[in-house]
Structure 1
Amino acid sequence: MIGLLDDPVPHALGPWLGRSDRNVLLAVSGGPDSSALMHAAAALGAAVQVATVDHGLRPDSGPEAEGVGQAARALGLPHAVLTWTGPKPGTGLQDAARAARYRLLAAHAEAIGAGLVLTGHTRDDQAETVLMRLAAGSGPAGLAGMRTERPLAPGITLGRPFLALPKAMLVAWCETRGIGHVRDPANTDPRFARGRLRATWATLEREGLSPARLARLAERAARDDDALRVAAEQAFAAALRPAKNTDAAVLRLDGAVLAALTAVTALRCLDAALIRAGAGPRRLERLEALVLDALLPALRRREPIRRTLAGILIAADAAGTVSLAPAPPRRHQTTD
């Protein structure tokens, strides 16, 4: 065991395997990263279970999933294939596939009593995520990239033990040990954003934009994001006003508290309020326009204002009370 933990791959995985008193589920696609995850867990003598999500998007996906199953059983590890069934979207396919993957893994983890699901995401995956979010105009929360761990479902944590390791290390680890693995052609498919970005790495690295630097950016953004989240939670608690018995569905905030906040804290505080009020997805640009360009100036001038965002009506009266409630349905005008 001491020799194994001197190896950076088992060393990164080891601390995760004894931290849960429930089962541990490994998400293994058959690529080098997740194959290293499975073989390192077996080398450490961990009693884990393995699952492979078959998205059914390629003719080879079924045989590849069964190949993972054969490798898992050879290591003495239980294995299940989780199949994404039903119609597939014509646009946003990779996002939908990713959501389906986590949904299937969460359901299987719950079924087998697993409290921890581990994936093989690497530093390179983190760098690609940060680059994609940078291109999309994300703020600190987005630039923080993937977290080392996050809630996956109630009572279930998603963990990424290899997030600080370069992909090349895991590929070499598998090849040195003769561990077979597959390569997903979608990873380099120019139809998808990740595939197009991967084709630019050589150019980006020549300019200093390496995976290591992007991963470091994610770490710094995560630190800032954590601090901002705490500040926003405190501000939200300070601004929240008791609901009126006559209309308990309306969320009320003290506009004077909001008006005194810094711009970034006010943004996050209002976003938290929108979520609490039942808002749908929100784009950062529209949230900034609402809070920075409209609501805060109105509060500071003590002027009433009404705006709608993500299905929520946000209104401030002249006394400085901000209310959030589901927006009424739009009236359809008809003409004779």
Structure 2
Amino acid sequence: MPGRVMSEDDNSPISAREARRLFAGLKAAPALVLAVSGGPDSVALMWLAARWRRALARGPELTVVTVDHGLRPEAAREAREVKRLATELGLPHRTLRWRGAKPKTGLPAAAREARYRLLAQAARAVGASHVLTAHTRDDQAETVLMRMLRGSGLGGLSAMAGVSQRDGIVLARPLLDVPKAQLIATLKRAKLGFADDPTNRDTAFTRPRLRALLPLLAAEGGDARTLVRLAARLARANAAVEVLADGAERFLRLRDRDVAPQVGIRSFEASAFAALPEEVRLRLLLRAIDALGHEGPAELGKVENLMSTLDRAMAGPGAAANGRPVLKQTLAGALISLAGGRIQIAPAPARRRKGR
């Protein structure tokens, strides 16, 4: 697992000792892919990882991967510059291109999905267990702000995890507690150049607009360090609630030990479900809908509305009646019903195409 930089000075270069701490949990990995765009953060990641690897008697093989999204004419030149730097550091380099039509809306999200998909493919191709990205403390603070404005729940407000799974590959962010200023100071000391992506200042996108707000928030005490601390505390609370939800699932299964399970269906005794804390009930619904639905992850707000409807139906006079459902609703490709004192979640029938 990635370590943490404990430097008191956010503008000081990262020392060799601090770099060892950052990558210490990755020594046993067979191979690592470094996601390097050419910007200061990812160039610093490459340089720090290469220096760390050279100091090891044995360690993981490193491969540098640059994803060219085909959105800026400068991207190909920046990829060639990353390749030049990687070669100087003795590291193999690959450039992967996002091909095909680009969406007219939601472009940043689509580009991010494409980038992670291509990075995971590259990792599998070289036998790497991990993909390392160069997200910093500043990126984490911006993510917290974005998700606050979207009204995210506990999981979303926990922001980015230091280690997570994606497409069967471990995604690691070893610089997540490192301020960007430290990385730039590190590059200056190493006399390494880096690319400047103008989209990072393009106020047509949400993240650059929020980035411009950070100095104003910092003046009121809401600096990046404070926002990241908030995310860490919410992540801790989120993990605790997940444990409670796991226990609640076991509790409901024990209550149903005399009920024959049905393949491809989740079923809860309504009265036992209603007695659980609201956040736990919400998570159990989300888990079931995401597991059995066929239209992607359910939106939190829609599941909250569904649970309100379900709560009213369970409190109604017909909730315990046999046979006839008192509630029947689809969400994210799942069918949720309440009948005979039981809540049932199953895959919804496929929607008919228009004109048929």
* Letter of the 1:324 counterpart: I
Structure 1 portions without partners, runs of 5+: none
Q: Which residue of 1 aligns with 2:273?
A: 258
**Letter in structure 2 aligned against 1:105:** L
Q: Secondary structure at the match of 1:200?
A: helix
Q: 1:299 is matched with which residue: 307, 314, 329?
A: 314
Structure 2 Cα separation of the partners of residues 120 and 12 of structure 1: 16
For 2:288 and 2:28, how far apart are their aligned partners in 1? 34
| Correspondence 1:143-158 to 2 at 5 A | 143-154=157-168, 156-158=169-171
Assess, with a 3 A threshold, how the Cα gap between structure 1 residues 69 and 333 changes in structure 2: closer, same or farther. Answer: closer
Residue 333 of structure 2 aligns with which residue?
311
Instruction: Tell me the amino acid that sits aligned with residue 276 of structure 1.
Output: A
Partner in structure 1 of residue 27 of structure 2: 18
2: CA distance between counterparts of 1:211 and 1:8? 24
**Deviation (angstroms), 1:19:** 3.1
Deviates more, 1:11-20 or 1:169-178: 11-20
Aligned identity (percent) is: 43
Aligned residue for 1:271, secondary structure, equals helix
| Equivalent residue number for residue 159 of structure 1 | 172
Question: Which residues in structure 2 correspond to 1:270-309 (within 5 Å)?
Answer: 270-279=285-294, 280-291=296-307, 293-301=308-316, 303=319, 304-309=326-331
For 1:167 and 1:12, the matched residues in 2 are separated by 17
Cα distance change on mapping 1:248 and 1:43 into 2, 3 Å: closer
Q: Residues 9-48 of structure 1: CA distance to partner in whole angstroms, max 9, x if unpaired?
A: 513433143031x211111111111111111112121631
1:96 is aligned with what amino acid? Answer: A
- Alignment of 1:34 with 2:42, yes or no, is yes
Instruction: Report what 1:96 is aligned to.
Output: 110
Change (3 A) 1:297 1:8: farther
More displaced 10-residue stretch of structure 1: 76-85 or 224-233: 224-233
- Distance in structure 1 (CA, Å) of the matches to 2:195 and 2:154: 34
Q: Judge conservation of contact 2:293–2:348 (CA < 8 Å) in 1.
A: no
Aligned residue-pair number: 326
- Look up the match of 2:3: none
For residues 99 and 206 of structure 2, the distance between their equivalents in structure 1, rounded to whole angstroms, comes to 24
**In structure 1, distance between residues paired with 2:15 and 2:68:** 34
Deviation at 1:333, TM superposition (A): 11
Tell me, in whole angstroms, the C-alpha distance in 2 between the residues paired with 1:234 and 1:297.
25
Letter in 2 for 1:311: G
The alignment partner of 2:195 has SS state of coil
Matches within 5 A, 1:37-52: 37-44=45-52, 45=54, 47-52=61-66
Look up the match of 2:347. 326
Letter in 2 for 1:18: K
C-alpha separation in 1, matches of 2:141 and 2:18: 19
Contact 2:333 2:347 in 1 (8 A): yes
Q: Residue by residue, what CA displacement relative to the aligned partner does 1:49-107 show, whole Å, maximum 9, x if unpaired?
A: 11111111100000101110110011100110011111100000000000000000001
Structure 1 residue 299: deviation in Å?
Answer: 2.5
Are 1:71 and 2:85 an aligned pair?
A: yes
Q: Report the Cα offset of residue 300 of structure 1.
A: 4.2
Gap change, CA 1:297 and 1:99, over 3 Å in 2: same
* 5+ long unaligned stretches in structure 2: 1-12, 320-325
User: Does structure 1 residue 170 correspond to structure 2 residue 183?
Assistant: yes
Normalising by structure 1, report the TM-score: 0.91
Q: Does 1:142 align with 2:163?
A: no
The SS at the match of 1:199 is helix
Counterpart CA distance in 1 for 2:352 and 2:228 is 48
Quick one: which amino acid aligns to residue 183 of structure 1?
A: D
Alignment TM-score, normalising by the size of structure 2 = 0.86
**Gap change, CA 1:71 and 1:14, over 3 Å in 2:** same
